[in-house]
């Protein structure tokens, strides 16, 4: 009690009553199993993350209708880390220690994942991370249901080289770790394929960059060297809308200089007039337009849940669908919610993805996914023009010097960065 007394002294009259009482409220009935949802509902990332919170709520509701897990109902605990990275760590800690959640589904940006990582390691809990990312990580407590670079970037480049006969490449990205790594991997890959150094242009812009006039005209200029040119875009979220608007206005057509994007999905396109962008590409592991019974059921369910017939679905949502299904199966296999048991049970678990395949959790905590290339259609959806078989996610890129000998294997080696050459685990 004494800490609460001291708090009271410090807070004085104004706020204390309501807020301190708030933290005293008895936790809800103990019979439920709690699942944490750690997605920003305000701030700059709310634009992407809010729907992921909704999709989790829907999945949990759905699971409860089926009787919950191991006979227990699930209860979602929603917190708002407000696009503030230290707050992500604080909220993660709160979810695990105060709310005693069994698993957390959350994070979008790499930095938010990096920020909560020490917390999950220290308190030994489980995080499902649903977004495509730069790779170079394999942690015992994290399960990566989004794409690693080899599940998105490289197949996209292969497609362009093969189908569009692209010989000259613009790698444009926002200046943070995901584009940097992806572009490094792509550059190494392209050079290895015999593309000349001067046929690759790399450009970085800050977050939220809104004036693209100069860069788009640079791209146009780069594209007039007499070789077929394409842009590989790792431009992040908010900056995409002005980028595409500028492309449309400066008349960069997909037939001349196609742009393939790794961070532009149905949600982002919902904010743009897509008619000038028809034919530009995106690479994901899921598109709403995929025609499978699973996907059609999911879309129907989602629209009903959102009570909005125009609600769109996207790739990270599918990642949560797969991740949640895998977690449920792993809990059932382990017959326990204990994190250690669930973590051990997860590798090898299979769950259907929405594009007609069965994804599998690998020992490196990444999953197998198909790679789809879609062309933007006039209605803001994608027309799938290419689909690969299931590709296993690489935690460590084969194309980077520092990591080509590393593998993650939490089943046999019990280690996230096992060096196959030295036969040892690196780091901590």
Partner 1 sequence: MSRFFLQNMDKGGSIFLAIIAGLAILIPALNLLVPAGSAFHIPTSTMSLWGKYLCYALLAISLDLVWGYCGILSLGHGAFFALGGYAMGMYLMRQIGSRGTYGNPILPDFMVFLNWQELPWYWYGFSSFPFAMLMVLAVPGLLAFVFGWFAFRSRVTGVYLSIITQALTYALLLAFFRNDMGFGGNNGLTDFKDILGFNVQAQATRAALFSMTCVMLIAGFLIARGIVVSKLGKVVIAIRDAESRTRFLGYRVDRFKLFVFTVSACMAGVAGALYVPQVGIINPSEFAPANSIETVIWVAVGGRGTLVGAALGGVVVNYAKTVFTSGFMAPYWLFALGALFVFVTIFMPKGILGTAQQLWEKRRKPAPAATPEPAPAE
Partner 2 sequence: MRILSSLLRALALATLLALQPGAAAAQGGDDAFARFGADSFSDTNRAIEILITSAHPQAAPIIEALAEGRLLAGGGPVVIRTTDGRFIDARTGAALASAPPGLAPVRLNNSVRRGIQAALGGLGLLDPDTARRILAAEAVFKSRDAALLPVLEGALAKETDARAKAALRQAQAAILVAKADAPPFDRIAAIDVLRERGDQDALATLRSLPAESSASLKEAQARAVSDIEGKLALWRAGQNLWYGLSLGSVLLLAAIGLAITFGVMGVINMAHGEMVMIGAYTTFIVQEVIRTSAPGLFDYSLLIAVPLAFIVAGLVGIAIERGVIRFLYGRPLETLLATWGISLILQQAVRTAFGPTNREVGAPNFMSGAFEIGQLAITWNRLWIIVFAILVFAALLAILKLTPIGLQMRAVTQNRRMASAMGIRTGRVDALTFGLGSGVAGLAGVALSQIDNVSPNLGQSYIIDSFMVVVFGGVGNLWGTLVAAMTLGVANKLLEPYAGAVLGKIALLVFIILFIQKRPRGLFALKGRAVEA
Q: Report in angstroms how near the CB of residue 212 gets to partner 2 at its nearest.
A: 9
DSSP lists the bridge partners of residue 171 as 202, 232
| 370 vs 392: CA distance, rounded Å | 9
d(CA 236, CA 262): 9
Measured between alpha carbons, how far is 185 from 149 in angstroms, rounded to an integer? Answer: 8
Binders of partner 2 among residues 255 to 284 (CB under 8 A) are: 255, 258, 267-268, 270-273, 276, 279
Among 47, 111, 191, 201, binds partner 1 (CB under 8 A): 111
Q: Decide which of partner 1, partner 2, none touches 228; Cβ closer than 5 to 8 Å per partner kind.
A: none
Taking CB under 8 A as the criterion, the residue among 98, 224, 348, 420 binding partner 2 is 224
Judged by beta carbon, residue 1 or residue 255, the one nearer partner 1 is 1
Q: Does 56 bind partner 1 (CB under 8 A)?
A: no
The CA distance from 7 to 12, in Å, is 9
Nearest approach in angstroms of CB 168 to partner 2 is 11
**Rounded Cα–Cα distance for residues 270 and 286 (Å):** 16
Task: Tell me the DSSP string of 160-196.
Answer: HHHHS---EEEEEEESSHHHHHHHHHHHHHHHHTT--
Minimal distance, residue 46 CB to partner 1, in Å: 10
Q: Which CA distances in Å does 33 have to 22, 56, 276, 347?
A: 21, 14, 48, 22
From partner 2, partner 1, none, which one binds at residue 130 (CB under 5 to 8 Å depending on kind)? none
Calculated CA dihedral for residues 337, 343, 347, 349, nearest 10 degrees: 10
- For the bound state, the minimum distance from the C-beta of residue 138 to partner 1, rounded and expressed in Å, comes to 9
- Report the residue from 60, 74, 81, 353 that binds partner 1 according to the rule CB under 8 A: 81
The counts of H helices and E strands in the chain are: 13, 17
Which parts of 176-205 interact with partner 2 (CB under 8 A)? 204-205
Give the shortest CB-58-to-partner 2 separation in angstroms.
16
Q: Is residue 426 part of the contact set for partner 1 (CB under 8 A)? A: yes
Binding mask 123-142 for partner 1 (x = CB under 8 A): -------------xx-----
Q: 308-325: buried (b, 16+ CB within 10 Å) or exposed (e) per residue?
A: eeebbbbbbbbbbbbbbb
Residue ranges of E strands in 52-98: 74-79
- The site for partner 1, by CB under 8 A, has a size of 64
* Residue ranges that bind partner 1, judged by CB under 8 A: 1-3, 6-7, 9-15, 19, 22-23, 41-42, 77-82, 84-87, 89-91, 93-94, 97-98, 109-111, 114-115, 117-119, 122, 136-137, 175-177, 180-181, 184, 204, 206-207, 400-403, 416-417, 419, 426-428
């Amino acid at each position: 009690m004494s800490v609460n007394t001291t708090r009271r002294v410090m807070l004085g009259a104004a706020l204390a009553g309501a807020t301190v009482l708030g933290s005293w409220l008895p936790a809800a009935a103990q019979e439920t199993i709690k699942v944490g949802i750690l997605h920003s509902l305000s701030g700059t990332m709310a634009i992407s993350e809010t729907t992921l919170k909704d999709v989790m709520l829907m999945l949990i509701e759905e699971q409860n209708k089926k009787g919950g897990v191991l006979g227990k109902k699930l209860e979602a605990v929603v917190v708002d880390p407000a696009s503030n990275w230290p707050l992500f760590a604080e909220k993660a800690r709160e979810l695990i220690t105060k709310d005693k959640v069994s698993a957390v589904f959350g994070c979008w940006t790499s930095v938010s994942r990096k920020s909560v990582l020490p917390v999950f390691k220290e308190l030994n809990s489980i995080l499902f991370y649903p977004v495509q990312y730069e790779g170079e990580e394999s942690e015992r407590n994290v399960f990566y249901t989004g794409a690693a670079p080899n599940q998105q970037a490289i197949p996209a480049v292969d497609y362009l080289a093969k189908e569009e006969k692209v010989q000259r490449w613009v790698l444009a990205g926002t200046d943070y770790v995901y584009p940097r790594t992806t572009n490094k991997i792509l550059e190494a890959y392209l050079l290895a394929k015999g593309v000349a150094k001067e046929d690759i242009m790399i450009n970085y812009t800050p977050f939220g960059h809104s004036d693209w006039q100069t860069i788009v005209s640079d791209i146009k200029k780069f594209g007039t060297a007499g070789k077929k040119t394409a842009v590989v875009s790792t431009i992040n979220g908010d900056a995409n809308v002005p980028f595409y608007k500028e492309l449309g206005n400066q008349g960069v057509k997909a037939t001349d200089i196609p742009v393939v994007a790794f961070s532009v999905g149905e949600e982002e396109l919902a904010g743009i007039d897509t008619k000038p962008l028809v034919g530009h590409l995106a690479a994901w592991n899921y598109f709403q337009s995929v025609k499978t019974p699973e996907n059609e059921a999911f879309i129907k369910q989602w629209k009903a849940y959102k009570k909005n017939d125009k609600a769109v679905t996207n790739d990270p949502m599918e990642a949560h669908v797969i991740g949640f299904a895998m977690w449920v199966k792993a809990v059932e296999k382990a017959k326990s919610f204990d994190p250690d048991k669930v973590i051990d049970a997860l590798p090898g678990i299979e769950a259907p993805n929405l594009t007609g395949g069965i994804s599998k959790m690998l020992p490196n905590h990444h999953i197998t996914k198909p790679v789809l290339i879609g062309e933007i259609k006039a209605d803001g959806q994608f027309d799938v023009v290419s689909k690969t078989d299931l590709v296993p996610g690489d935690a460590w890129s084969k194309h980077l010097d520092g990591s080509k000998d590393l593998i993650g294997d939490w089943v046999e080696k019990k280690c996230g960065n096992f060096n196959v050459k030295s036969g040892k685990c690196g780091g901590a």
